[in-house]
Amino acid sequence: MLISQQMNDRLNDQINFEQYSSHTYLAMSAAFEKMGLKVFADYYRKHADEEREHAMKMFDYVVDAGGTVVIKAIDEPKGDWNSVEKIVQQTLEHEILVTKRINDLVELAEQEKDYATRSFLQWYVDEQVEEVSTAEQLLTLVKMAGDNILYLEHRISQMA
């Protein structure tokens, strides 16, 4: 096995968290559907798919590194999703948490001198810069739009 048991366990935790992220964004998509905001709903549904892809990329790495993938129960998404701003604010907070979790994995890889995993995780480090930046931009646009949220639908479709 190319990875330590501790790294294997932590990568499994992150696979689970990426799946949780996917479920969270899917729940947010459903909230947007209920609000009649189809473009926001589609944007978040695609984001849910992307998070699942992140989980599967990590799944494949664990397998390729000779580790063992353990599929765990996915927590129910939690949030206050009765306004666009609250959803987007939670998105930003969630992406900041994901960034911290990825950084913690990088730190462990460096401590263990696990250069293969460190290299693999660089993609996630770069991805999180984009994820946080996009969430910050979206939150700024939502705040600027105020009650005119329907005008943002076109802008959101361009971001996707």
Question: What digits encode the pLDDT tens for the residues 36-51?
Answer: 999 999 999 999 999 9
Average model confidence (pLDDT) across the chain: 95
Full set of structural domains in the chain with CATH = 5-159 (1.20.1260.10)
For residue range 132-153, what is the model confidence (pLDDT) as tens digits? 999 999 999 999 988 788 778 7
The pTM score is: 0.94
Does residue 160 carry a pLDDT above 70? Answer: no
Do 38 and 149 touch, CB atoms closer than 8 A? no
Q: What percent of the chain has pLDDT over 90?
A: 86
- Per DSSP, the three-state class of 66 is coil
Nearest Cα to Cα of residue 75 among 20, 3, 7, 154: 20
Do 142 and 153 touch, CB atoms closer than 8 A? no
Sign of CA dihedral 130, 49, 23, 5: negative
